[in-house]
A and B are shown apart, each in its own frame.
Chain A
Amino acid sequence: MSNQTTKLVPTPGQTVGPFYGYALPFEKDSELLAPGSPGSIRLQGTVYDGAGETVPDAILEIWQPDADGKVVQKTGSLVRDGYTFTGWGRGAVGYSGVFTFTTVNPGPMSPGAAAFISVAVFARGLTNRLFTRIYLPENEDALAKDPLLSSLDPGRRRTLIARRDTDGGLTWDIHLQGPDETVFLDFR
């Protein structure tokens, strides 16, 4: 492949709008693994707006390595066979602004690195998608050394770290705006 260097200007994004509900969701979209299968966890949270109200029309995508920290490059996310972990899932929030995924704890992608899930957020009223991350809460040393987390002040840093639930799952909320506003990323 040629090493072309022509820099093109990216196409602008636009809001996902209110009517994605019949188009983007698909069967088992948020089930990267079958619920209840060995190693599976529930990842859940609520999306809030700047008034602290829940947002009922947002849709999220998660993209993560497997439990061993390996990037998965298998097809089949849209038509899940029930056995293949593809690392990607899509989940619309329900009426109460709550989203739920079934997935695995991502492994660190290098020894001692902090493990995280990459997230894209879309919503009516959100003019372009937002990127953020969900870090696992356990490895304090890794979290302290993480390049992104260590560049944030402590108040904002915690918006990227999930809470561990008693059932082994993760809870992580999104605040689009407000005092607990989630850190959203602009990739260089």
Chain B
Amino acid sequence: MPQHINAQQLPGDEAVPAAEPHAGHLPPDRAIETQADLSAEINALADAYARALKDGGAVETQPRLDYPPYRSSILRHPTKSLHHADPETIELYSPAFGHQDVHALESDLTIQHNGEPQGERIIVAGKVLDGDGRPVAGQLVEIWQANAAGRYIHKRDQHPAPLDPNFTGIGRCITGPDGSYRFTTIKPGAYPWKNHLNAWRPAHIHFSMFGTEFTQRIITQMYFPGDQLFPLDPIYQTIVDQDARDRLVAKYDHSLTEPEWALGYTWDIVLTGPKRTWTENEALGAEGDEE
């Protein structure tokens, strides 16, 4: 089970106002930019992308590293273009994870404490596929999220919403032979952050995945359908293409919903295409965990 609830104290402007009296009700002093200011920037970038597409520009399937409305990215994005490289040697393999690493119960985030967590119990399930549509079997999936009230257990999160003594918000699993994963958890709440005045993140679950090659490594966020905060959120909007953004939104799936128990959401993850040839693949022999 996750042992690490030793929250780190991290400085940063994404933290919400300190939990003083009135915090969360009064505007924080330094966040003078409003949602209207940010939305104007977001919309201008969206319009420019739409025009570029119309003029035959390339579809952008990944987030922009340089996306000024997400203020923390301004000093943290590379300004030189990424260097095109052929992956070599070690990059064509992935670390192996297995049942030595992850206990089966770690995929249920609702049973990590003595009582039931507050909130709406949900099942999130899907498959991890590579760019060729092949299942990624026996690989590690990690998730973390806020509780139903939109509060992370992280010490730096001082959003004055309640912590839940029965919810940590960390899960792990190893994908099945068909690339499948499945978590039982609580639907996370939206939460405020300090990108600008009245900034709120749409409810999301952080996902971390490995492929069969290290070049396929991805950390991303899964969202819930119909969230009214999507157009306002500078992080979701770092992906300027609507079809690409839609790939982060789970689908409600009634066939996954369990009677008298939990609502079901389906979300598949597609990694980038594998680069290794079959010969190299087979040369390695059996991979991963033997169990």
A-side interface residues toward B, CB under 8 Å?
1, 3-27, 49-51, 53, 55-57, 61, 63-65, 71-79, 86-88, 92, 95, 106, 109-110, 113, 116-118, 120, 122-131, 147-148, 151-152, 156, 176-177, 181-188
Given contacts A4-B134, A19-B154, A187-B85, contact A129 B218 (CB under 8 A): yes
Task: List the A side residues contacting B236 at CB < 8 Å.
Answer: 14
* 6 closest A-B pairs by CB: A125-B72, A23-B144, A88-B95, A186-B82, A75-B98, A78-B101
Chain A nearest CB from B62 CB (Å) reads 5
Task: List the A side residues contacting B20 at CB < 8 Å.
Answer: none
Picked from B75, B78, B221, B287, the residue with its CB within 8 Å of the CB of A130 is: B78
* Contact sample, A vs B, 21 pairs, CB 8 Å cutoff: A7-B133, A11-B271, A12-B62, A13-B220, A22-B6, A22-B168, A61-B217, A65-B89, A79-B101, A86-B95, A120-B217, A125-B70, A127-B77, A129-B217, A130-B78, A131-B217, A148-B83, A176-B76, A176-B78, A177-B75, A187-B275
Q: Are the C-beta atoms of A126 and B73 separated by less than 8 Å? A: yes
Given contacts A18-B156, A188-B86, contact A127 B67 (CB under 8 A): yes
Picked from A78, A88, A177, the residue with its CB within 8 Å of the CB of B79 is: A177
Task: List the B side residues contacting A24 at CB < 8 Å.
Answer: 142, 144, 208
Given contacts A73-B284, A75-B288, contact A7 B132 (CB under 8 A): yes
Give Cα A109–Cα B90 distance, bound, in whole angstroms.
8
Picked from B2, B83, B275, the residue with its CB within 8 Å of the CB of A186 is: B83
Give Cα A17–Cα B129 distance, bound, in whole angstroms.
24
Task: List the A side residues contacting B219 at CB < 8 Å.
Answer: 13-14, 16, 122, 129
Tell me the number of A-to-B contacts counted with CB atoms below 8 Å: 286
Chain B residues 233-248 with CB under 8 Å of chain A are 235-236, 238-239, 243-245, 247-248
Task: List the B side residues contacting A125 at CB < 8 Å.
Answer: 70, 72-77
Picked from A3, A10, A15, the residue with its CB within 8 Å of the CB of B62 is: A10
Picked from A10, A56, A184, the residue with its CB within 8 Å of the CB of B12 is: A56
Task: List the A side residues contacting B87 at CB < 8 Å.
Answer: 187-188
Q: Are the C-beta atoms of B63 and A128 separated by less than 8 Å? A: yes
Given contacts A75-B101, A125-B73, contact A18 B93 (CB under 8 A): no
Q: Are the C-beta atoms of B89 and A57 separated by less than 8 Å? A: no
Task: List the A side residues contacting B95 at CB < 8 Å.
Answer: 63, 72, 77, 86-88
- Across the interface, name the chain B residue whose C-beta is closest to A4: B133
- B152 within 8 Å of A (CB atoms): yes
Give Cα A112–Cα B238 distance, bound, in whole angstroms.
42
Given contacts A11-B270, A75-B101, A76-B100, contact A57 B62 (CB under 8 A): no
Instruction: Provide the main secondary structure of the chain A interface.
Output: loop
- B65 within 8 Å of A (CB atoms): yes
Given contacts A4-B132, A22-B154, contact A118 B83 (CB under 8 A): no
B-side interface residues toward A, CB under 8 Å?
2-12, 14-15, 61-65, 67, 70, 72-91, 93-102, 129, 131-134, 140, 142-144, 146, 152-154, 156-157, 168-170, 172, 206, 208, 214-215, 217-221, 235-236, 238-239, 243-245, 247-248, 269-273, 275, 278, 284, 287-289
Picked from B79, B238, B288, the residue with its CB within 8 Å of the CB of A14 is: B238
Task: List the A side residues contacting B146 at CB < 8 Å.
Answer: 19
Give Cα A128–Cα B239 distance, bound, in whole angstroms.
10
Q: Are the C-beta atoms of A17 and B14 separated by less than 8 Å? A: yes
- Across the interface, name the chain B residue whose C-beta is closest to A61: B217
Given contacts A7-B131, A127-B63, A127-B73, contact A19 B156 (CB under 8 A): yes
Give Cα A24–Cα B5 distance, bound, in whole angstroms.
11
Q: Are the C-beta atoms of A188 and B77 separated by less than 8 Å? A: no
Give Cα A21–Cα B172 distance, bound, in whole angstroms.
15
Task: List the B side residues contacting A65 at CB < 8 Å.
Answer: 89-90
- Across the interface, name the chain A residue whose C-beta is closest to B99: A75
Chain A nearest CB from B67 CB (Å) reads 6
Q: Are the C-beta atoms of A14 and B235 separated by less than 8 Å? A: yes
Give Cα A2–Cα B8 distance, bound, in whole angstroms.
46
Q: Are the C-beta atoms of B86 and A6 separated by less than 8 Å? A: no
